[in-house]
Chain A
Amino acid sequence: MSFTMTPLEFSGITFCVSIGAGVLGSLLGLGGGIIIIPFLTLLMGIDIHYAVGASIVSVIATSSGAAAAYVRERMTNMRVAMVLELATTTGALTGAYLAGVIPVRWLYITFGVVLGYSALIMYRKRHQKEGEDVAPDALADWLRLHDSYFDEATGKTIAYRVTGTKLGLVLMYIAGIVSGLLGIGSGALKVPAMDIAMRLPIKVSSATSNFMIGVTAAASAGVYFARGEIDPFVAAPVMVGVLVGATAGSKLLGKINSVWIRTIFVVVLLYISLQMLLKGAHG
């Protein structure tokens, strides 16, 4: 790969693209890796290892940058986040032990299918009223997970009840294993799990996923750093751009209609699902 840019041009372009990744990531509860990795590898010719290292940095930047606002505005359900982090961190540890045991190829195919199916369910339920007709869940009662948030788009405070805590924990455990093994897709699995199984409002799911992904990524960042896969020259413009984008995006989430957030999420989910299936197909 021959380079046709100066380091200054590289930093400038990467910074601008990363702003977009930060906005999208903060709105959808994803880490922005879906933009950062293809951009760095395909367009900028960066080595895949450095691209993944930079995307881990991008996940933490999106998470901390957006969560500062979401926690203050009560969009994040911190109790749900803490309970589910139990499952994701256990899953990440399990994933570390399973590395090399499970064929990565089938993992990509399985999760491509799972994410595609989740996108379908979320699309069909996109007009569902939030926080209504929720089945009682004793565990959610005991853990006091129910809460409310102020929805700027409708000008209403929306009280919601949480259900399916056990199923949510199982799904988060699996999400933890997958992100431990593949290093991607943790947010893409977390949001549908909270949305479909636990019936959290989409904005709360997104903000809570945002809050959680930083912790999971920080755990793996240590490994990438020790392996020398976090190149400071690649990571710096990504980090600064994503922080600017996530801060801006976190001001937008409240104002956008929930149906829109769901629709954008479904489209992005289908794209990730396709990416995973292709990776699985090519081996």
Chain B
Amino acid sequence: MNPEVPAPTPEPDHPKEVGNAVGAEVGDDVENKVRTVEILISNLLRGGVVLSMLTVLLGTVLSFIHHPDYTTSKEELALLTQPGATFPHSIMEVFTDARAGHGQAIVIVGLVFLIATPVLRVAISIFAFMYQHDRAYVVITTVVLILLLASFALGKVEG
């Protein structure tokens, strides 16, 4: 902890209210850390969103360039959106096809980025609470991440 602060200073309950009281330094410190974490998580979400959106747009544009009939043919839509539509399902297939420049596979890569963003947010939050020396929340967030990963694993077994 901060060595300059006298030992009996209690942990501030409400950072904002403590701001101009006796423990000003501690209050500001906590406040700054909370703000840093908020900006970090906000940027992470924004970055994930922008990256996945650009990837999906790239894939969509490539699909339309490779298949000029998508803009004229009314039969094509059924092939793309009815049961039995062919698109890669497994991560391996997705990456092989995406490398080959298949538009729909690149779209899926973008969707995977989108799905990964909230999970990454939970993982990053663990470190954020560590940085705030908030042990209870480090535990809570770790348990949430384990439960999330467990439901991923369970889904794989069932699917």
User: Which A residues have a C-beta under 8 Å from some C-beta of B?
Assistant: 3-8, 10-11, 44, 46-47, 49-50, 57, 60-61, 63-65, 67-69, 71-72, 74, 78-79, 82-83, 85-86, 89-90, 92-93, 96, 141, 143-144, 146, 148, 214-215, 217-223, 225-228, 230-237, 239-240, 243
Contacts and interface: CB of A to CB of B under 8 A. Distances in A.
Nearest to A90: B147
Nearest to B140: A82
A227 B159 contact: yes
Interface of B: 13-14, 16, 38-39, 41-43, 45-46, 48-49, 52-53, 56-57, 59-60, 63-64, 67, 70-78, 80-83, 85, 87, 89-90, 104-105, 107-108, 110-112, 114-119, 121-122, 125, 136-137, 140-141, 143-144, 147-148, 150-152, 154-156, 158-159
Contact of B56 (A82, A83, A90, A239): A239
| Most-contacted residue by chain A among B57, B117, B140, B150 (CB, 10 A) | B117
B104 A232 contact: yes
A90 B151 CA distance: 9
Contact of A3 (B39, B77, B118, B141): B77
Contacts of B80: 7, 231, 233-234
Main secondary structure of the interface of B (DSSP, over half): helix
Given A72-B39, A235-B107, A79 B115 contact: no
Given A71-B42, A72-B38, A222-B152, A143 B136 contact: yes
